[in-house]
Structure 1
Amino acid sequence: MNIALLGYGRMGKSIEAIALKRNHKISLKISDSDSIFDFSNTDVAIDFSIPSVAVSNIKKALDANIPVISGTTGWLAQYDEILDYCKAKNGTFLYASNFSLGVNIFFEINNRLSQLMSNLPEYSTEIEEIHHTKKLDAPSGTAITLAEQIIENTNYKNWTLEPAKSDEIHIEAKRIEDVPGTHEITYNSEIDSINIKHTAHSRQGFAMGAVIAAEWIKDKKGIFSMRDVLNIG
């Protein structure tokens, strides 16, 4: 399979290394929005760029009828616009806030736990996420996904980085050198606490998940998620 890398930073390079080990080829490497997008001889595009160019990158791939895997966060105010654009182009798109296989299992655990906690108002909920200092957005897309799952299943109305009101989930976003990604959810009461936590040891898990998603989505049409890739639910 021939893969275009839209974004060639640390994640792009990690994806390249894993793709080559899995006998794929890299047909295109884009490091900035001014590069020439030549999608000839490309089967799938993987976007791990930056928020300011992600939408443009995705649209260019969809214009060329290339399936797109996107892991860039910080642009989701335009997510519905991309979904509409993909449908209009009869294209193929998969977005995930986190491609780690372990994190996607963690999402399922979080979803189920929040359902179990939904009728226990004596517990308050907090999320902590820690990433490397070069991560541009805060909170992380993964933390937002976790918060949105909890909100869907409980009486919480919103998440916030500020001190939380009773109907808000506080997200503590920390930036520490060389931390690939840690997410912890805590339910606190006067009697006890319940914690679930995922700790990434390297970027390899994110890169592997993105390549697996690209392998899965080739020759498919539509809008998908990692739940489809992993056949969850």
Structure 2
Amino acid sequence: MLNIFENLTHLQNIDGIILSQKKKIVQKNEEIRKIQQNIENNNLEWENYRKLYDKERIELSRLELELKDVEEKLNKSQNQLYSGNVQSGKELSQWKSTMESHEKTKSNLEDYVINQIDKIEGMRIKEKEKEHQLLIQRFEKDIDSLKKDIEKMKSDLSNNIQLRTDSIQNIPADILSLYEELRKKFSDPVVEMDGDTCRGCHLALPSSIAKRVRKKEEVIQCPNCQRFIFFK
């Protein structure tokens, strides 16, 4: 019976390792998923930032065109005012008023253009683009590293699955079937007896059961939790 329990304990250890490896693979894949989501979010943020930058550039172009138009109108007013073609005081006053209006508009537009240029320069588009590219590169490097880890884990998992296949050959079919059923409920279907207590459910065993376990002549299950109990 001792060999059966040794084989069951060995199988349980392998199953624990396999379960841990599967969980780690799932965790690594989840890390990759999160990083990929971060890449998508950062790409979207960068796209929106770039659109905002383009929008501000368009606004600057609009202001510059408007300023150019006002400058042309102002030059026209000045030329007309000093052309000698003004015939009356009223007409002179009108041209002066028009010229002053254009000068005021020109001054305001010049301020807007300067502010807009400062705003665009403050967006630091080239620096932001470089920062974005470096961030994406780091994300992609992390993903490559995680994928390599997963490949190594899958290789180790495959080896342990093969070890498990080899191990179950040494266990009687009926015992193996019980073990597989217990494994659905417990991570430790095979436990050692501690004194007269089952280490699985921590309840005291009847003295008759404890004696049978100590004899090591048969496979015994805990009457409470049904785990396999062995005695070293």
What TM-score do the two structures reach when normalised by structure 1?
0.18
- The structure number with the bigger radius of gyration is 2
Structure in which a larger fraction of residues adopt strand: 1
